Structure 1
Amino acid sequence: MTAMPDAPEETSHVDRVGHVVVVGADSIVVRLTEELERAGEQTVIVARAGADPDLISDARAHGAEVVTAGRVREPDLIAAGIKGAKAAVIIDEDDVWVIRVALVVEELNPEVRLVLGLSDARLGARLRPVLGECEILSPAALAAPSFVAAALATTDTMTFEIGGRLVVAGPADRVGGDRLGVIGDSEQTELSGAVLPADATGDIVLGTELVGRSSPAVRQSGMFGALTRVIDRRLRLVLLGLAILILLSTVYFKLVGVDWLEALYLAFTASTDTGIGDSEEHLGVGFRFGAVIIQLFGLMLSSGITAVIVDALISARLEELSGGIRGRPRDHVVVCGLGRIGTEVAIRLHSRGVSVVAIEQDERAVGVSRIRARKIPVLIGAAGEDAILAAAGVSRAHAVLALTDNDSVNLEIGLVAKQAKENVRVVTRVFDHELAGRVERRLKLGATRSLSMLAAPAFASAALSRTDRLIFPIGRWVLIFTELTVQADSGAAGIRLSELPDPDVARVLAHRPVGGNRWDWQPGNPRLAVGDQLAVAATRTGLARMLLLTKVTRRS
């Protein structure tokens, strides 16, 4: 067994100024560190003892320095240089812990820019006035739209203002007006073709008008849904038997010599015991004995119908009260894992009118109570087990979302789902971005998404006081829209637009010269001056290059 290398010796950062302090040590923190490093920022991470050593190692690989703390108290934050920090980002699944640390940070440095990652959006809204300059973000809320779009095989539209005009980003069939450019291709699985494609042939575009309507997902709800839950397979079989009995009885009574219409009437009344007595004078004694037999069969079938309906209604009510599955859902979405992202995705799908079945291993998980409160059925068990997925109706599902916190479990869920139904749509949450690409290419499990990759850019924007950035998910990547200003002594001052980073990673949409009153959306190739503004659409890498190019070069 190979010995692990010793961790770098921790140093004090008490006198450091102008850096970003990040409190926490999860996958989002690692991606956030990467974002800040690309933007040329210095980062100090305060990690609780017992944090995943692999995550700490990844963060150090991106240039972050790490301070290990027991419960993250005032001395730990001071050692990380919180008094001289320009921003503090606090991320953890425990909202109470995040708030406690935030209050300590605010006392130590009232001027610091606070960015909090909270699961409870309502709690965050109430805290905002108390904590001063504070940005509160929900990682799950940031990433959920991409998971929902992948589950429904759609791309949402976004309307926002950039470059002095209102624009719309989304599928080509939903975006009209002036076509401002192609920004993505939902069919591509590689970053170079999916985001800002060079050949401009993608199906995700930027325009000036929203047209048409997205087709709402259909679920069985209201009167129709209740009816289909009652008329289950057992009742359909009983009704089929009754129909066959009526058909054979019609032929039987035709032999009496009556016409077909009266034969049908006699067959129907005999089978349902509703009126044979009023027409028995047409029958001979032998045929009357036959009618009695028909009535007996009809009574048994009618009793069966009553029993099945009562059983279905009582079972539906008991399942509703206990949070179980009602009836046999079809074309629904199975959400596996009710952590932060799984709960948010399930709620958003449900609010769109999509039938959802959730699976969670821990019945005490907070997400279970939130989901059951919305009358969404929840199964308790390991989502990777065949029996649990079968109980969730995976063989009849439209999509299966594997959203647990464990990559191997998510891959197992995807493989089991594909075995149960080859054409089921699978969306897999995977932390490792390289692994995500290989899963899509080699295992053919379907779409993969990373919560940290989707959420980290928003946290980086908030930490750098650039809350005007809009983050638009395209597949498992994001496209970032923002406006940048060319600063004095920056690398962009004096160069031409054509000398900016590769347009495949950063594309200038519009340019406004210093002192100008209007944006030019067909800027040509002007030479940039200090104070010029650029409206940009960029990948994470492209934005980092643009930030480094347009801001003041750090002097040693």
Structure 2
Amino acid sequence: MCGGNALAHRLVLELVEHYEVPVVVLVADRTRDHAPQIEQLPGVSAVVEYATITDEALRAVSIGTARGLALVEGSDQDNIHAALSAQGHNPDIRIVFRMFNQRLGDHIERLLKNGAALSGSATAAPAFAAAALGRPNSVEVGGRFLHVAFDDAITPDRICVVADHVDRQDLSRIRLLPEQQEFAEFVKLAREFGDDGPVRPGGVRRPPERSGTIPEQADAPQDPPGRHDPANEHDPAAEHGPANEYDPADESGPADPGGIAALQALPMEPREPISWARRLRWRLLDTMRFFTSARMRLVLLTALAAVLMAFGVLWYLNRDFGWTVYISLLDLAGAAQPDQLADIANGTGTGGIWQRVAQVVITVCGITFAPVATAIAVEVLGSGRRGQPRNPGAGTRDHVIVVGLGNVGTRVAVQLHQLGVPVVCMERDPQARGIGAVRALGIPVVMGDGPLEQQLRRARLRYSRALVAVSGDDATNVEAALEARHGNPDVRVVVRLFDDDFARHFYATLDNAASRSVSYLAAPAFAAALMGREVRGTLSVFRHVLLIAELTVEDGSPLIDLNRHDLEDPGGVRVIAVGFARSPRLDWNFPDRTRRLAPGDRIVVAATRSGLARLNTTLVEEETADS
């Protein structure tokens, strides 16, 4: 493990607890970041300190005999160099490296014999974006977008039930991936809804939920049915095992199964619909930002009224509308030819005294309009220049504010923009890598080192729908959330937090809020990739994480001749789709549970963290036994 950041910390936990493999950690400074906590974890064989990942450092951690290498810290260039060096020392080693530039990562993968490039920010960003919109995040597989729906949001075309015993007053009772034979009862419960709520077995209606907030899920009562905020993944019990698995022998649970959650698929990611009328209103309001000063508005309105009156005088004297428009435009531009004294004396002037007065009035007012038009042109041209992000306009409404344009913040902003949601970004560092990316999309950016309250006011906090604070510091993110709630009590706040205790206090204090951990969401995907499994994404079921993984049956793979009965593990693994060799299409809920897999087939599974680890361990043991 090369790195001492939050992702390295979570990844070490994932490997030693779920995959039970020894880990050696290479850090730049064993006294900084998460290195001291990593050194105290059971299962860590050693922590080695080297300033950079050199050949000497790789030999110090016995790279020649290592099973896998995880590069989760440093720049893309540093990780590429380290990956190529490690392959030179151990050609068969499995290498997983973090890359922000995913396209470059795909190219590097082809240079490595056994490597995978992952992006922690790309894995976690959908959860942050979905939390800002108050809906569950989705994972794209085979052209479908999988998401978790709850209770009355479950439709008949669901893929499978992924959880039961869903009691929002006691989230520790959730049981993930229940046995198949119970599905009929769950589906019947999901469909039997009346005016007073769902029906229990035996026809007894379930009483309405008690009022009040849940300390670790304080925002659940505010969400509409089926759009409950996903898990607060920071709960230690859920993270380290006891609450993540349900013990059938435990008789202290509720008598009825409670609510349920099901995996469903959408043909496309739902966009946030914004009517053309609202967009037009925002555009008109945005145009008015050039006239925000009351004094400026008074001057411009007075000048406009004078021009209209002078135009009326000209038209009344000449009775030629086209000529009147022509001469008025020339006067506004200061290009009209005045009457000469000789012409007036000879009686050949263009008009009488009132026409001359009207033309003078229009010309003087044109002097007032010209600077405003120049300012608009300069603003439009200047906002498109490189390094000059566009500021949010006065017409910005119903938008999401993203605080921090690091890797995660940039991806969250881009994803929200792709969903049709207005976005405003805030960043203090003018050299942040995300500024160029959001500027290319025309997303406004508020920059500067002023007070946070002032920056949020410039970001139009008063009119925003949500704030997503995703800087790398927990305290900074909480400060932004509290400042936002002070400026707009109705705004939804989503905060990036690593510390579990911090997250619990955050939920207990604020309503209409959510917290997410990038490392917690990304670590399972990195751990599975180290073991040779591809995780397509993660879905939250309240405090629990559900992994969507795709496995390919290759020649010599231990998956050959296995069927769904062999692969599925109640409470751990569920096969949701099968793709046959030479067919790009996936068959969802393939009914034949006895068909054995052949080379070239693909399977998509929904699994818990421990379930995917057990599946990987079983396949590795079978492969070892065969060899």
TM-score by length of 1: 0.71
C-alpha spacing 1:302/1:472, structure 2 compared with 1 (3 Å): farther
C-alpha spacing 1:103/1:60, structure 2 compared with 1 (3 Å): farther
Q: Where does residue 228 of structure 2 map in the other structure?
A: 187
Deviations 1:489-520 (A, max 9, x none): xxxx9xx99x9564xx66566899xxxxx998
Q: Distance in 1 between matches of 2:112 and 2:49?
A: 25
Deviations 1:243-276 (A, max 9, x none): 99999x9xxxxxxxxxxxxxxxxx9656876635
8 Å Cα contact 2:145-2:269 kept in structure 1: no
Q: Where does residue 396 of structure 2 map in the other structure?
A: 330
Q: Distance in 2 between matches of 1:305 and 1:235?
A: 15
Q: Where does residue 169 of structure 1 map in the other structure?
A: 146
C-alpha spacing 1:33/1:317, structure 2 compared with 1 (3 Å): same
Q: Where does residue 464 of structure 2 map in the other structure?
A: 397
Q: How do 1:50-449 and structure 2 match up within 5 A? A: 52=32, 54-58=34-38, 60-65=40-45, 66-160=47-141, 169-170=146-147, 178-183=157-162, 186-187=227-228, 199-202=258-261, 205-207=263-265, 210=267, 213-216=270-273, 228-232=285-289, 234=291, 269=309, 275-277=315-317, 308-321=372-385, 322-331=388-397, 332-382=399-449, 385-444=452-511, 446-449=513-516
Q: Distance in 1 between matches of 2:291 and 2:463?
A: 18
- Higher relative CO (Cα under 8 Å, sequence separation at least 6) belongs to 2
Q: Where does residue 32 of structure 1 map in the other structure?
A: 11
Return the offset for 1:218.
Answer: 7.2
TM-score by length of 2: 0.63
Q: Distance in 2 between matches of 1:432 and 1:452?
A: 11
Q: Distance in 2 between matches of 1:519 and 1:147?
A: 28
C-alpha spacing 1:49/1:196, structure 2 compared with 1 (3 Å): closer
SS in 1 for 2:111: coil
Q: Where does residue 538 of structure 1 map in the other structure?
A: 607
8 Å Cα contact 1:472-1:478 kept in structure 2: yes
8 Å Cα contact 1:180-1:206 kept in structure 2: yes
Q: Distance in 2 between matches of 1:319 and 1:484?
A: 47
Deviations 1:60-114 (A, max 9, x none): 4152232222322223222222111121111123112112211220110011111
C-alpha spacing 1:440/1:295, structure 2 compared with 1 (3 Å): farther
8 Å Cα contact 1:436-1:448 kept in structure 2: yes
Tell me the amino acid that sits aligned with residue 318 of structure 1: G
Return the offset for 1:451.
Answer: 1.0
The answer to whether the aligner puts 1:470 opposite 2:553 as a matched pair is no
Q: Distance in 1 between matches of 2:360 and 2:5?
A: 69
Q: Distance in 2 between matches of 1:435 and 1:500?
A: 34
Return the offset for 1:408.
Answer: 0.1
Tell me the amino acid that sits aligned with residue 452 of structure 2: E
SS in 1 for 2:393: coil
Q: Distance in 2 between matches of 1:33 and 1:119?
A: 21
Q: Where does residue 283 of structure 1 map in the other structure?
A: none
Deviations 1:193-247 (A, max 9, x none): 9999964544x6325x637954346799999876543233727978899999999
8 Å Cα contact 1:271-1:297 kept in structure 2: no
Tell me the amino acid that sits aligned with residue 25 of structure 2: I
Q: Distance in 2 between matches of 1:199 and 1:508?
A: 24
Q: Distance in 2 between matches of 1:243 and 1:295?
A: 18
8 Å Cα contact 1:324-1:377 kept in structure 2: yes
Return the offset for 1:459.
Answer: 0.8
8 Å Cα contact 2:533-2:550 kept in structure 1: no
8 Å Cα contact 1:384-1:413 kept in structure 2: no
C-alpha spacing 1:464/1:124, structure 2 compared with 1 (3 Å): same
Q: Distance in 2 between matches of 1:320 and 1:225?
A: 20
Q: Distance in 2 between matches of 1:347 and 1:217?
A: 17
8 Å Cα contact 1:44-1:67 kept in structure 2: yes
Deviates more, 1:96-105 or 1:368-377: 368-377
Q: Distance in 2 between matches of 1:171 and 1:479?
A: 10
Deviations 1:420-454 (A, max 9, x none): 11112221111124432431232336121111111
Q: 1:453 aligns with which of 520, 525, 532?
A: 520
SS in 2 for 1:372: helix
Root mean square deviation, CA, Å: 5.2
Query: Which structure 1 segments of 5+ residues have no match?
Result: 1-21, 250-266, 280-290, 486-492, 513-517, 527-532
Q: Distance in 2 between matches of 1:189 and 1:223?
A: 34
Return the offset for 1:297.
Answer: 10
Q: Where does residue 282 of structure 1 map in the other structure?
A: none
C-alpha spacing 1:220/1:548, structure 2 compared with 1 (3 Å): farther
Deviates more, 1:78-87 or 1:268-277: 268-277
Query: Which structure 2 segments of 5+ residues have no match?
Result: 164-225, 247-256, 320-354, 553-561, 580-586, 595-601
The percentage of aligned residue pairs carrying the same residue is: 27
C-alpha spacing 1:536/1:125, structure 2 compared with 1 (3 Å): closer
8 Å Cα contact 1:217-1:352 kept in structure 2: no
C-alpha spacing 1:309/1:427, structure 2 compared with 1 (3 Å): farther
C-alpha spacing 1:426/1:83, structure 2 compared with 1 (3 Å): same
Q: Where does residue 41 of structure 1 map in the other structure?
A: 21
Q: Distance in 1 between matches of 2:157 and 2:432?
A: 48
Q: Where does residue 2 of structure 2 map in the other structure?
A: 23
C-alpha spacing 1:177/1:472, structure 2 compared with 1 (3 Å): farther
8 Å Cα contact 1:407-1:429 kept in structure 2: yes
Deviations 1:40-78 (A, max 9, x none): 222111111256254442364152232222322223222
SS in 2 for 1:128: helix
Q: Distance in 1 between matches of 2:604 and 2:417?
A: 36
Q: Distance in 2 between matches of 1:181 and 1:520?
A: 8
8 Å Cα contact 1:30-1:59 kept in structure 2: no
